[in-house]
Structure 1
Amino acid sequence: MLKIIKSAINTKAINRWSELEVERNLQDAMQVCRNVLVDPQLVPGGGAAEMAVSHALTEKSKGMTGVEQWPYRAVAQALEVIPRTLIQNCGASTIRVLTSLRVRPGSCGTAVLLLRIDDIVSGHKKKGEEHSKAPAPTEAAQE
């Protein structure tokens, strides 16, 4: 299989070492494709794990005061280098994308909290409407 791909793709390089490196890269790529076909599972990538750990460390540092919080924040910032580099390599706006990634975990929690509050309020209104079975005023009654 590698010979077929090698003949289709010109793997000629400057020296033998570079040509062997290209062959190893092709072999690795084919093995990745095979693994995905054999066992298709999603793995978080693109700095997702690093952003999650960074977010957790930042949240933990908020509960501390003074010098104790500095190591947590330093490691959190260091972990954000990986997504930042990926964003820069894509040509996207680094600040905009990193900000949206930082906000995302908190926004989901806020949305769930708001939905719960809406459910409680709407449930309270429904119970209140059941207890007061008075007819609603009509336009004729208001005139």
Structure 2
Amino acid sequence: DQSKFPEIRCSDLAELGVTYSVLEDFWYRFEVLGGIRYMYVENKFDFYSDNLDSLSAKDNLWDGFGGIRLTGFLNDSISATVRADVGGGSSDLVWNVAALVDWKFKHWGSAYAGYRVLDYKVSNEALGLNLQAKGPVIGLAFYW
């Protein structure tokens, strides 16, 4: 049997956002956030048969999002953050939740690690997709 499962490739994911602090004191900060998220998705299904063609679709997904973020400060350089947002645009619905620990190593930057769940629902002419990505995340943040 040479059947093959469909291959879904999400090669690019980026987001750009802004936050506004609603409540803040020495130990915590509560913020609202908004921005734009981009993801490139390619879906491919190969058939190993002479009478069936392969199917494929690809799309650039651009979605606006809004949400909240709560940060607790453990000391001057270590903090813990939970974040949730929801949005849409190219997607019918996209939502995201994350829990992160952040280490601020300079006034202009920090490194973070944690766990994230990102869920996409897309139904358009180019692509029908119900995708959930979840797992560990690491990254860098820059401030100005």
- TM-score, length-scaled by structure 2: 0.20
Greater helix share, 1 or 2?
A: 1
> Which of these two proteins has the greater Rg computed from alpha carbons?
1
